[in-house]
Amino acid sequence: MLLAVVALIAGLALLVWSADRFVDGAAATARYAGMPPLLIGMIIVGFGTSAPEMVVSAMAAADGNPALALGNAYGSNITNIALILGLVALLSPIAVHSQVLRKELPILMLVTLFAGWLLFDHQLNSFDAWCLLGVFFALMAWSIWQGMRNPQDALATEMDEDLAGQPKMTLKQAIIWLVIGLVLLIIASRMLVYGAVFIAQGLGVSDLVIGLTVVAVGTSLPELASSLIAIKKGEHDIALGNIIGSNLFNTLAVVGIAAMIEPMAVDAVVLTRDWTLMAVLTAAVFVMGYGYKKQGRINRVEGGLLLAVFIGYTGYLISTVIA
């Protein structure tokens, strides 16, 4: 058990560090390839911060623990909105300027509803996986099209300033960090999955609950770090964009890849408890961030409510384990 705890903690620490290196290397490589700043922010950074969830869930599914994979994906979405957006909004209210993000908010809501529809038969099979991945690739194509059409969007401006402030890398250095980050991500994910599964089995806790709590929070740390840094710089659209992009990746690509590797039976509680909360939180962010006839904004009161929901949800999950 001690070895499993050490593997879990070391895996989490290495996961955060390697994800950061992976994002830096990927963003720098994309710059050398001539990719517009908006696309780097929407696709490269969004993919990079979701890489921990993707690799961990793939590893868990390959090891025959699909519940851990699903719990990680949905738990990360809940953590991203309730914990990270809540905490960020408490520190500094989030103002939404980007028109691209205003278009992505309703898309995230529709994607969440689509994911819930697939869960209604209490299983995710290969066909469901192809559906999720098909929607994911369609959204990536749409994002590229949006990025080419809106080069002066507020998110593009913030991303351009953010990239300009980062240490310069040569192309060789960028590729090296990209590869090192990816390799260490895989190693860290293996350690994390081993530790989480061993602890869950030792304590008699379900893989789903471990995925929804410890693993979800751990794999969401890159989003937390990048959002806190963005809000400190006054880059509100990047902070929100990180969360929207990550949740789209988690709902479609992370779950899709896991279900492709290992089709899974889905416990009814996932739909009634976890997906339902994820959908309610997504709807709340949509209402607050879209703004309708006024500028979208998540204020401190709303941030506090989101954080309270996270504390209450996590407390409830822990109470079910203790009981």
CATH number at 197 reads 1.20.1420.30
The pLDDT value recorded for residue 284 is 92
The pLDDT value recorded for residue 174 is 81
Query: Residue 262 belongs to what domain range?
Result: 2-322
Residues of the chain with pLDDT under 70: 35-49, 98, 100, 146-148, 150-167, 291-293, 295, 322-323
Residues 76-104: tens digit of each pLDDT: 999 999 999 999 899 888 887 767 677 78
The pLDDT value recorded for residue 37 is 63
Residues 25-70: tens digit of each pLDDT: 777 777 777 766 666 666 666 666 677 788 888 888 888 888 888 9
The pLDDT value recorded for residue 189 is 76
The count of domains in the chain is: 1
pTM for the whole structure: 0.84
How far apart are alpha carbons 318 and 323 in whole angstroms? 9
Quick check: 208 and 267 in contact, CB under 8 A?
Answer: yes
